[in-house]
Amino acid sequence: MTSADPVAAQRAPLQPLLDDAVIALRAPTQVWSGRDGDLGAAAIDGIYHGDVRHVREIATTCADSRIEWISLSTHGASRVVFAGLLRGLDEEWAADPKVRILRDRTVDGRRVGEEWRLRNGRNVAVATRLESRIVPEFASLHDVKAGGSTPGAYRIEVRGDVAVVEAGAQRFVLTAPGARVREEGGAIVVTWRLEAAARGEARGSWSLQLHDETLVVEPASRPAPWDASEVIRGVAGRHPRLARWLETALGDLDALRLALPGHPEDEFYAAGAPWFFTLFGRDSIWAARLMLPLDAAIAASTLRVLARLQGDVDDADTAQEPGKILHELRSSTLEIPGENVSLPPLYYGSVDSTPLWVCLLHDAWRAGMPEDEVRPLIPALRRALTWLIEYGDSDGDGFIDYIDRTGRGLANQGWKDSGDSIQWRDGRLAEGPIALCEVQAYAYEAALGGAELLERFGDGDAAPAELRRWAADLRARFAAAFWVETPEGRYPAVALDRHKRPVDTLTSNIGHLIGTGILNPDEERHVAELLLGESMASGFGIRTMSTGAAGYWPLSYHGGSVWTHDTAIAVHGMVRAGLVEQANRVVDGMLDAAEGFVYRVPELHSGDPRSETDVPTPYPAACRPQAWSAAAAVTALTAVRARA
């Protein structure tokens, strides 16, 4: 058999697109569907629990009418209501539709439920049969992301109105009170006979209870610690768009909270949906850090979670080193097809998680983290600072750098971790070890913050003075080595390469330097103005790479797109540096982007300029919601408050 499209037949599988899909979530469970609520038409569709897609398809039909879907309404992150018409049950020649169907979907950390409501506006009773066909799958989330999926073997057992579906370590239990439940061709079929009285309503429902013995995370067990309504009321009058963004963002952050088994009291933010419902060092730290103005508690618990998993051996396979903070935690090895990447379940390939952990500890303490919670983390602080000084510099040049020692790990280990993210201005890729500019800034800030913490909580040793000397030397080395001059101006290089040459592309990475202290005030102001210039500011946020670079492309993952958290980090620094006017100019663009995405800002979007489009162009495979994109709304709030 030959394909009608030989090019398509040879093409590698493609990652699913997400921008038009509907999601309801409460980590670690999520449901992706079409706008009618059915599952299966799009590659991403399904019910996921942890890293497994338990259900691939759900199709619902009415025996006596086509369901004509006319609307959907989201109620926070975890509930979606789909509304349709049943005109086959309506009065003949009726001008106004009087028979409606509502599909009310709710998700919590271990459960998915749907309630169907048949609403009758007629003066006579109506009756019909509603049927949902549910197809299990038990495919790996990693395979779905790679563009395909292989169903796992499963067994269905029906007991009255309950069906139990088992697939080794995973299973789910479907309950449909009062319905007929049967197994048919590897699917579960649920049938209700609904009769709605004149101007009345009839209901049917089902729920899935999801189980996975391999899960390394668990749902948050407590309500969110912040009062979102109070925050929103405080800005709604003068800043209605910011209020709407905050409402959506805080709801998403609530739904993204997770804990590790055995420690339900210590929550952290999952990085994002659909691919990253787990603990990430960098992502969880930055989300907690940007949220500090509203909640210091999750910063404290994130610090404890990461400290428990802090590295204690030197192991190239996991990129672990003593004192190092992890990159990500998974239940199984993560294979990235086509890139020769194989990441073990506990992977430490992040150059910035460790200094950022120290920065978060210092900031959380300053934001009100109780001293009796800070003190137990001082041994982990000492280990992190030791890693910074003794392990972070792999080649002895005085800068914190990274290189993958196995050939199977991440080639780039800063936040821009795609393989082509660190480029010269002419498009060539930089060779490692690579010392990123922002990592030096994090390290400088961490050394000074660590010194202050040790003075308050330490044993009166010489470590604070030594840390301050180390930081001063790093700052001087940075000033001597990183600045470049190109046709786009004078600015810090994105990185130093293996030959200690400054990689000369103008990138958003320099925004992370502002407010850390590694630049002087004049340099901070200069960098801020560069980021506000035409080549870097899209009008919806700061581009990851300048339009003047040969590698620029507006839909490049790290080479021209806009990441809202990246923009927010620059704003965070501008506010700290007293550049409030510049910060609010950036926030204006962030609010335009938020409005364009109906206030659920994705992981990233295109770097297309505002002059070419009235709304931001989606990066169609971007995660949403994403924790640090949601937390960017709080940074915008901080900037607006600073201007008031």
Among residues 134, 289, 285, 269, the alpha carbon closest in space to that of 210 is found at 134
pTM: 0.96
Average pLDDT over every residue of 170-176: 98
Q: Over 80: is that where the pLDDT of 12 sits?
A: no
Fold of the domain built from segment(s) 218-643: Glycosyltransferase (1.50.10)
Whether pLDDT at 536 is above 80: yes
- Interatomic CA distance for residues 14 and 253, integer angstroms: 29
Question: 127: burial class by Cβ within 10 Å (0-12, 13-18, 19+)?
Answer: middle
What is the rounded CA–CA span in Å between residue 633 and residue 626?
12
What pLDDT, in 10s, does the model give residues 385-416? Answer: 999 999 999 999 999 999 999 999 999 999 99
- Which helix (H) or strand (E) segment holds residue 6: the answer is helix 6-10
Using alpha carbons, select from 599, 609, 554, 519 the residue that is nearest to residue 244. 599
- The residue ranges of every structural domain in the chain are 6-212, 218-643
Give pLDDT, residue 337: 73
126: tokens are 């109506």
Specify the 3-state DSSP secondary structure of 293.
coil
Beta bridge partners of 630: none
Q: Which two tokens stand for residue 360?
A: 């978060």
What is the percent of the chain with per-residue pLDDT over 70, rounded to a whole number? 98
Which of 467, 447, 547 is closest to 506 using CA atoms? 547
Distance of CA 566 to the CA centre of its chain: 13
Phi then psi for 224, rounded to 5 degrees? -60, 140
Residue for token pair 């003190």: 375
- 346-350 long-range Cβ contacts below 8 angstroms, 24+ apart: 346/309, 346/318, 346/320, 347/318, 347/319, 347/409, 348/311, 348/318, 348/319, 348/320, 348/321, 348/324, 349/319, 349/402, 349/404, 349/409, 349/410, 349/413, 350/281, 350/282, 350/325, 350/326, 350/413, 350/414
Determine the length of the chain.
644
Any idea what DSSP says for residue 27? T
Candidates 368, 206, 228, 391; CA nearest to 316 is 391
User: Residue 6: pLDDT above 70?
Assistant: no
Give ∠ CA 159-164-167 in degrees, rounded to 5.
150
Residue 7 has pLDDT above 80, yes or no: no
Q: Is 480 exposed, middle or buried (0-12, 13-18, 19+ CB in 10 A)?
A: exposed
Topology of domain 6-212, CATH: Beta-galactosidase; Chain A, domain 5 (2.70.98)
* Gap between the Cα atoms of 183 and 475, Å rounded: 67
User: Per-residue pLDDT averaged across 491-503, rounded?
Assistant: 97
What is the C-alpha to C-alpha distance for residues 78 and 257, in angstroms, rounded to an integer?
A: 13
Strand partners of residue 132: 60, 190
Q: Is the pLDDT of residue 60 over 50?
A: yes
Helices (H) and strands (E) in the chain, counts: 15, 27
User: Is residue 386 classed as helix, strand or coil in its secondary structure?
Assistant: helix
Mean pLDDT across the chain = 95
Confidence band of 531 (pLDDT split at 50, 70, 90): very high
pLDDT digits (tens, 9 = 90+) for 28-57: 999 999 999 999 999 999 999 999 999 999
**Residue 489: in which H helix or E strand, if any?**
strand 489-492
Q: Which residue has the tokens 């202290």?
A: 517
- pLDDT (tens digit per residue) in 13-32: 899 999 999 999 999 999 99
Is 238 in contact with 226 (CB distance < 8 Å)?
no
Q: What is the pLDDT of residue 1?
A: 36
Distance in angstroms (rounded) separating the CA atoms of residues 441 and 400:
10
Burial of 574 (0-12, 13-18, 19+ CB in 10 A): buried
Return the exposure string of 396-409: e unless at least 16 CB atoms fall within 10 Å of the residue's CB, then b.
eebbbbbbbeeebb
DSSP 148-200: ---PPP-EEEEETTEEEEEETTEEEEEE-TTSEEEEETTEEEEEEEEEE-TT-
Predicted pLDDT of residue 644: 78
Separation CA 611–CA 606 (nearest Å): 13
Per-residue pLDDT reduced to its tens digit, 71-119: 999 999 999 999 999 999 998 887 899 999 999 999 999 999 999 999 9
Q: Is 549 helix (H, G, I), strand (E, B) or coil?
A: coil
Tell me the pLDDT band of 10, cut-offs 50, 70 and 90: low
* The residue to which tokens 């073997």 are assigned: 153
**pLDDT at residue 444 tops 90:** yes
